[in-house]
Amino acid sequence: MQVHSKILVVETDIGKDTHYARAFDFLGIEIGKLLKFKSSAQAYTALDNWMAYILEIGSMISIRNTSKKRE
């Protein structure tokens, strides 16, 4: 797999009672905040929503970082 700006890595730590998720861009920079969640259907829906939000803000960060100033 080639590394490029469209890559988003979501890392999850599955624990006995509490799980954690973090998202990183292609440079390894964390995007958003750590998500802490329990094992339930509602929590997994929240995880899906969190990932959608991360994709959205990650796209905005990518656009902002690659835009060039017009002189």
pLDDT digits (tens, 9 = 90+) for 12-61: 888 888 899 999 888 888 888 899 998 888 988 998 999 888 888 766 55
CA–CA dist 11, 44 (Å, integer)? 14
Q: Which residues of 16-42 are buried (b: 16+ CB within 10 A; e: fewer)?
A: eeebebbbbbeeeeebbeebebeeeee
Domain range annotation of the chain: 9-66
Question: 71 falls in which pLDDT band (50, 70, 90)?
Answer: very low
Which one has a higher pLDDT value, 17 or 67?
A: 17
Does 67 score more than 50 pLDDT? no
Confidence (pLDDT) at 8: 77
